[in-house]
Structure 1
Amino acid sequence: MKNIGFIGLGVMGGSMARHILEAGYTLHVYNRTSEKAKLLVEKGAIWEENVASLAEKCECVITIVGFPRDVEEVYLGAKGLLENAKTGTYLIDMTTSSPDLAVRIHAAAQKKGLKALDAPVSGGDRGAREGTLSIMVGGELEDFEVVRPLFEVMGKNIVYQGAAGSGQHTKMANQIAIASNMIGVCEAVSYAIKAGLDPDKVLESIAQGAAGSWSLSNLAPRMIAGDFNPGFYIKHFIKDMRIALESADRLGLDTPGLEMSLSMYKKLAHEGYEDDGTQALFRFYNEKKK
């Protein structure tokens, strides 16, 4: 594969696309806001005016867009990938989206001679910049093996999870774990501050012990510094938690921790913080509960 398409150049997608370009592939890009493609085009990427134009020129297309409705439009719409990609094209959706939608796209792609994988990621803006994302993949094993070199320029922990939809189900497990953990991280840092401790020193002690987590090591320092810029938007985390809750309900699983976290983040979004990073849950304790 020489020509790679990339759709969705947001907080994470822009960095992921840059790694592909720097690896020597010919990169074709499209984003609803063309300004986000400017730096990549200056580095040699080829701007495409729409999804259809991009699809016609690429042997593989990667997408990472906002919401399931965006995934559905990009893949299943009249001007989308399935209607315009060449037979044999590999289609990789790295958006966190619905497992059921991933299965639908995979089935529709097979009927058209296309190869679809669901491959959501974890690691936030830092993981995207540094090329250290965790990538969880669903689809046909042989298709995964063909595109593995592309995954390897974007991530480090790359795991094939199983049939179509398995990548998205794995990401739901990831988001469920994060949802409750974020509450614990915020409460721990808030407790340290209320107790008159230096929260940075507290992190030195607890981040490497049994309480350690990615959120504690990477997001707690941002909380302490008052940095709520998005590595991952609250509005997108709310979307993920809703998908996870719906999927858990269909599986007959109660998830009270997930429900509590979703409720708290929805309150923050209602207060106007939906474009903050997920670490802004700290506001719930330190601005709303003084």
Structure 2
Amino acid sequence: MLNTYSHGSVVSVDEQKWRDAQEFERAVWISGNQNNSFLRVVMKFVRALKKSPYYFFQLIKYRDFYAGDDWNFWWKDIFDNYKLLPNHFSKALEVGCGPYTNMRIISKLKKIDEIHCVDPLMDLYLSFKLNWLAVMARKGKVHTYTGKGEKLEFQDNTFDLVVCNNVLDHVEDANACLTEIHRVLQPGGYFVFGQDLSDERDLDKQREKAKGFFIGHPIKLHDQVLDRLLSGLYEEKMKKVLPREAGRNSRYHYGTYLFIGVKS
């Protein structure tokens, strides 16, 4: 069963579609981390130098000597180095952190006393020994949890920072995830949220040209739907929609939603 909104948005799906999406993601990350070795770390720098000297020097500047990256530096740049955030947080959570995480970058820019990361595939990610998440977890510097965004196993008002970048297209119920994030965030806490957006034209292209992509990303969100889901919950510090040409995947997404808010 699909819970659809206007503009072709799909806000929730049944559990089987979610499980199919998770299996798609699992296969993607296993394929990308089969050679989780020091050679892969070296090749990350070689590819970065060939692609962009800027990206190469970002890796050096942030001492990112770990395997893997999933557009995490792109999110850093598009959020302007997270300058709108305070310089210190007591307890931060990343929901749907993936194997590489955005906390890996944010923690170099801000002082964070405790870092917590949750993802349904966490057990898999911790097996990628040279990734930042696995290294920090082994050192006891990051607390990791296997779980869904729809049911965060934390008490109300626990965190003063929650990050959720490009996660909601993989979940079972986007509204439930946003509700849970708001619940665990302290009053006055910051929510950093980024999301690829899809309209009806994008959905048609995804169905026709990228069946696997469609299976792996069952939730489809329009910016007006996100406005509605977030309405009245936060004091907005930043909200913008990047146009198609400025996004990560202009072929399948008409825009990118960027939001930083403070819980009222």
TM-score calculated relative to the size of structure 1 = 0.36
Higher gyration radius (CA): 1
- TM-score, length-scaled by structure 2: 0.39
Q: Which has the higher contact order (CA 8 A, sep 6+)?
A: 2
